[in-house]
Amino acid sequence: MRLFDRTSSGLELTEAGLDLLSHADAMSQAANDFKLAASGRSDRISGSVCITASMAFSSQFLPSILTKLRDQEPDLEIELIASDESGNLLLREADIAVRMFQPTQPDLIARKVGCVEMGAFASTEYLQRFGTPRDLSELKDHVVIGTLKRDYSRQVLSELGLETNSSFFKLRCDDPNVAWQMVLAGYGFGFTHIDYGLREPFVQRVGENLPTISLPVWLTSHAQLRESKSIRRVFNFLASEITSISNQ
């Protein structure tokens, strides 16, 4: 039985090869389903749970939340994927995802668990040197740090009534943690979660009279993954903690 045919463009799977690959995928899926069902029958909260969240949310909120979870569930192993890429839960790239948008895939379980408020911040040194904008229209005369490669960045600008083009940002950086360090260094303005920004003594929130942008926080998981007691425990714990943060 030939699995490949040699063509002018290289090797291609034959019909038999495609059929065999389909059977292999089905067997892999069945093995995953069996593993989930077995873990669901265990009363012990243990094993590995993979969480994915944006880089900003992972660094600003999850450290304290996951430390609290560790104290309550010491047998759990957590894998944290900090990425602004939208990993595919349907392909088992993670067990639980923290999203700033509502998932649309029909096979996912999704729960809105709160909101995070975004505001503009700049260092005290920058404001002393260049002044404080009185309204949004004056931001164009200042150095603004950010990126348009993240969906919620475009949403923030759009809801503020600002043009969503790259020229708005005088310094563009895809890593929110590096961008925040540039704010601390006095390079210019940056947008971040208000609670996080207010904890930093060397920056000031700019224009509390400016519009505040509220970004929704959604937890998502695949329906079959919720059969696992460990994943369900982490999902519900994250939901409770994020809701608590949102209500502060």
Task: Domain ranges for the chain, please list them.
Answer: 44-115+215-246, 116-214
Q: In the CATH scheme, what is the homologous superfamily, with its name and number, of domain 116-214?
A: Periplasmic binding protein-like II (3.40.190.10)
Q: Which two tokens stand for residue 156?
A: 């923030």
Say yes or no to pLDDT of 30 above 60.
no
Asked if residue 207 lies in contact with residue 134, where contact means CB atoms within 8 angstroms, the answer is yes
Fold match between domain 44-115+215-246 and domain 116-214:
yes
Crossing angle for the helix pair 62-72 and 229-246, nearest 10 degrees?
A: 130
Average pLDDT over residues 174-194: 92
What is the H or E stretch that residue 177 is in? helix 176-184
User: CA torsion 31→33→39→42, rounded to 10°?
Assistant: -110
If pLDDT is split at 50, 70 and 90, which confidence band does 13 have?
low
Residue-wise pLDDT for 41-50, tens only, equals: 456 789 999 9
Specify the pLDDT at position 153.
Answer: 62
Residue-wise pLDDT for 65-100, tens only, equals: 999 999 999 999 999 999 887 666 655 678 999 988
Q: Report the share of the chain in percent with pLDDT over 70.
A: 69
Nearest to 46 by CA among 239, 228, 247, 218: 228
User: CA torsion 209→185→85→93, rounded to 10°?
Assistant: -110
Mean pLDDT (the chain, rounded): 80
Specify the pLDDT at position 22.
Answer: 58
Beta strands 96-99; 47-53: pairing state: parallel
Chosen CATH of 44-115+215-246 out of 3.40.462.20, 3.10.450.50, 3.40.190.10, 1.10.760.10: 3.40.190.10
| SS3 state at 91 | helix
More confident residue, 202 or 168: 202
* Rounded-to-integer distance, Cα 194 and Cα 213, Å: 10
